[in-house]
Amino acid sequence: MRSLVNSEAVKNEAMSSVVPDVSVVVPVHNEEESLPYLLEAITSSLTACQMSYEIICVDDGSTDGSARFLKEQALNSHDLKVVILRRNYGQTAAMAAGFNYALGKAIVTLDADLQNDPVDIPILLAKLEEGYDLVSGVRQKRQDRAFTRLLPSKIANWLIRKVTGVNIHDYGCSLKVYRAELVADMNLYGELHRFLPALAHIEGARITEVPVRHHARRFGRSKYGIWRTFRVLMDLLTIKFMQKFLTRPMHVFGLLGLISMLWGGAIGIYLTFVKLALGEDIGNRPLLILAVLLLVTGVQLFCFGLLAELLMRTYHESQGRPIYRVREVVGKKVVTGE
């Protein structure tokens, strides 16, 4: 979603600004009543741990007074930055915009509805200093409705753990801390914000989780419901494919195409034997239609795999993205004598 912001403007701003220790990214959509309490709580929490910080609130097309309130606060504050999107793009886009404008060495994300407690931010930051790249919160004693929120969340978390192999117990908790270099390697699209730990795992990140507080919503109403479970399933398929076949799509499409062509060829050989050796009519047999369908499908899958390989190479080469990530390089420099 990097096209949503002016990357050149972000770069110039970064060069002219002091790098803070922490950037707090808060997507906002119709949370006017909770914002004063949220900003006060974040400021209090980070001031207490004596860290330099900035707060980045991304207004995602709010229709209440959220944008107006944030602009007024930003004019009178040295630590608040407000990014106002042109319309409602969704939480993933809002988080991507916040990441693009964040200058901190560590980046914290949390929701604006006060259900996440900013008091827990220093705990996550301390855990990050133990050598992790991502620290995710696990909400304790959740204050949500059992049927519409808790049950779908438990099912989704279990399913995501099993499919991705990333042992995080609360993917839906927005309170997370990332190293800035990890965020720079991740591009967000669609509604993949809930899969950030899985995306980080693809980048080779060290991930852990810590218990955090969870409060009942004080203002407004939740933007989530049971129907988001179906969107999670669709996004999960995308993540699984990215985990296993992002740099080798031919391995899946080519294999499926080869299997389809082999079955179609085998059925075709059998029908040829029936026609020539036994003299039976095969024109009205369903097997003939199946053989042709399998052969055509196999060729299409194989060609699709070749196209996916070309797209993958274009994706990496056009952006200068290597297919590996280096954690550190240890060793002396090579000295050449004249």
Provide long-range contacts, Cβ within 8 A and 24+ apart, for 300-306. 300/257, 301/253, 301/254, 301/256, 301/257, 301/260, 302/253, 302/254, 302/257, 302/258, 302/261, 303/257, 304/253, 304/257, 305/249, 305/250, 305/252, 305/253, 305/254, 305/257, 306/250, 306/254
Task: Enumerate the domain spans of the chain.
Answer: 2-245, 250-319
- At residue 13, the pLDDT reads 52
Residues in a beta bridge with 55? 24, 80
The answer to whether residue 313 scores a pLDDT higher than 80 is no
**Model pLDDT for residues 283-294, shown as the tens digit of each residue:** 888 899 999 999
Return d(Cα 53, Cα 46) in angstroms, integer: 7
Do the Cβ atoms of 50 and 84 come closer than 8 Å? Answer: no
| Residue 242: pLDDT band with limits 50, 70, 90 | confident
Measured from the Cβ of residue 135, the count of other Cβ atoms closer than 10 Å reads: 27
- At residue 172, the pLDDT reads 83
Do the Cβ atoms of 138 and 209 come closer than 8 Å? Answer: yes
Do the Cβ atoms of 67 and 59 come closer than 8 Å? Answer: yes
Return d(Cα 323, Cα 309) in angstroms, integer: 13
- % of the chain with per-residue pLDDT over 90: 41
Return d(Cα 95, Cα 1) in angstroms, integer: 9
**Average pLDDT for the chain:** 83
The answer to whether residue 239 scores a pLDDT higher than 90 is no
The residue-averaged pLDDT of 181-198 equals 83
**Model pLDDT for residues 97-108, shown as the tens digit of each residue:** 999 999 999 999
Q: Give the angle 148-153-155 at the CA atoms, nearest 5°.
A: 110
Return d(Cα 203, Cα 206) in angstroms, integer: 9
Return d(Cα 148, Cα 47) in angstroms, integer: 37
For residue 188, what are its two tokens? 């967000």
Q: Where are the alpha helices (DSSP H) in 119-227?
A: 121-128, 151-164, 180-185, 196-202
| Residue 338: pLDDT band with limits 50, 70, 90 | low
Return d(Cα 207, Cα 211) in angstroms, integer: 14
- At residue 224, the pLDDT reads 58
The answer to whether residue 237 scores a pLDDT higher than 90 is no
**Model pLDDT for residues 39-96, shown as the tens digit of each residue:** 999 999 998 888 899 999 999 999 999 999 999 999 988 899 999 999 998 888 899 9
For residue 251, what are its two tokens? 């391995």
Measured from the Cβ of residue 28, the count of other Cβ atoms closer than 10 Å reads: 28
| Residue 188: pLDDT band with limits 50, 70, 90 | confident
- At residue 323, the pLDDT reads 64
- At residue 16, the pLDDT reads 47
The answer to whether residue 3 scores a pLDDT higher than 60 is no
The residue-averaged pLDDT of 25-29 equals 94
Phi-psi map region of 299: left, alpha, beta (phi>0 left; psi -120 to 50 alpha)? alpha
Return d(Cα 84, Cα 87) in angstroms, integer: 9
Least confident of 61-70, 235-244, 271-280, 326-335: 326-335
- Considering the domain 2-245 in this protein, what is its CATH number? 3.90.550.10
- At residue 193, the pLDDT reads 81
Return d(Cα 284, Cα 142) in angstroms, integer: 62
* Of residues 126, 131, 202, 128, the one with CA closest to residue 165: 202
First to last CA, the chain: 49
Phi-psi map region of 326: left, alpha, beta (phi>0 left; psi -120 to 50 alpha)? beta
Measured from the Cβ of residue 283, the count of other Cβ atoms closer than 10 Å reads: 6
- At residue 148, the pLDDT reads 62
* Of residues 176, 178, 186, 241, the one with CA closest to residue 206: 178
The residue-averaged pLDDT of 216-236 equals 68
The answer to whether residue 10 scores a pLDDT higher than 60 is no
- At residue 277, the pLDDT reads 85
Least confident of 6-10, 68-72, 174-178: 6-10
- At residue 103, the pLDDT reads 93
**Model pLDDT for residues 245-266, shown as the tens digit of each residue:** 777 888 888 889 999 999 999 9
